[in-house]
Amino acid sequence: MIKKEPHLAFADVTYESLDEMAEQLLAEVYEQLRKIRVGEEENSCTTRKYVLRRLVQLQHQFGDLVPHLYRTAYNDAWSQVYYWEHKAGYKHPYLRHMMERLIQASQQLSH
């Protein structure tokens, strides 16, 4: 019996190898992105978070170097997430807060 490595776990599933994990999570990512693209799922923060959680898990597992086998799909998935965030007008809460502070400071200087 092959012992599964506990550090290769995500959402109550333990994977036998990094390849198995990467292939499964990327398949889930691309399925969710497809659903957003064709309108089966709303382009909402919650829907994108489903994708982001899987990409961040892969980022954690890959470390500093994404394996060549997955690099194109992984980078493309991140690009698609950024595209859908932009299309929805999403702004990270911290960045939104900083922009508001800059606008306030600018207005105070002009008075």
Look at residue 52 and tell me whether its pLDDT is greater than 70.
yes
Task: Record the tokens describing residue 49, joined without a space.
Answer: 């978070």
Going by their DSSP bridges, the two strands 9-10 and 13-14 should be labelled as: antiparallel
Q: What is the structure's pLDDT at 5?
A: 52
pLDDT tens figures, 27-45: 999 999 999 999 999 999 8
The span from the CA of 13 to the CA of 1, in Å, is 17
